[in-house]
């Protein structure tokens, strides 16, 4: 599986109070749901940029009305960065190991005295999309 490239969110797991479980919903359905907070919906615009450097970058499209000075201020503050023409928010390591693609969740600690493995597998679906965190991602063409 080749994950290098820019991916966008196709679907996300949402908590369903009626079934008390996570249910995967398409982005369009989530955006149309008036019970979901706008700040939660904003995250759905994120892109995930997998680079050959071993990092996956979470980034947002730059708003068309965002002045260059504001972009420069954002990156100069150390709060964010630019990656492939997007505003970078976060970066995590990824690797291929034993034929599996994994990313470093950053999770630390232990359960019942055993250290938690911070590396989670990224799985590929039959349609070529991938499962990353609670998202289903598709290549951004």
Tell me what the pLDDT averaged over the chain comes to: 93
- pLDDT over 90 (residue 136): yes
- The pLDDT of 94-116, averaged and rounded, is 93
- pLDDT over 80 (residue 17): yes
pLDDT at 85: 93
Which residues share a beta bridge with 41? none
- The pLDDT of 10-25, averaged and rounded, is 91
Full-model pTM: 0.89
Instruction: Please state, in angstroms and rounded to a whole number, the distance separating the CA atoms of residues 69 and 82.
Output: 14
Share of the chain above pLDDT 70, in %: 99
Instruction: Please state, in angstroms and rounded to a whole number, the distance separating the CA atoms of residues 49 and 57.
Output: 5
pLDDT at 37: 87
Share of the chain above pLDDT 90, in %: 82
Contact of 139 with 128, CB cutoff 8 Å: yes
- The pLDDT of 120-132, averaged and rounded, is 96
Render pLDDT for 37-87 as a digit per residue (tens, 0 to 9): 888 899 999 999 999 999 999 999 999 999 999 999 999 998 889 999 999
C-alpha triplet 119, 120, 123: angle, nearest 5° = 140
pLDDT at 102: 97
Cα end-to-end distance, the chain, whole Å: 17
Structure tokens at 100: 């599996």
For residue 62, the 8-state DSSP code is P
């Amino acid at each position: 599986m080749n994950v290098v490239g820019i991916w966008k969110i196709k679907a996300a797991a949402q908590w369903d109070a009626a079934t008390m479980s996570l249910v995967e919903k398409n982005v369009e359905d989530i955006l149309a749901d008036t019970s979901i907070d706008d700040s939660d919906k904003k995250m759905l615009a994120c892109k995930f940029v997998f680079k050959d450097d071993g990092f996956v970058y979470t980034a947002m499209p730059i708003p068309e009305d965002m002045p260059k000075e504001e972009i420069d201020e954002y990156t100069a503050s150390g709060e964010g960065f630019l990656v492939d023409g997007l505003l970078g928010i976060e970066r995590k390591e990824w690797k291929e190991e034993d034929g599996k693609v994994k990313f470093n969740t950053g999770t630390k600690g232990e359960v019942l005295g055993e250290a938690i493995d911070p590396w989670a597998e990224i799985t590929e679906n039959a349609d070529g999309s991938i499962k990353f965190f609670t998202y289903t991602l598709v290549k951004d063409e």
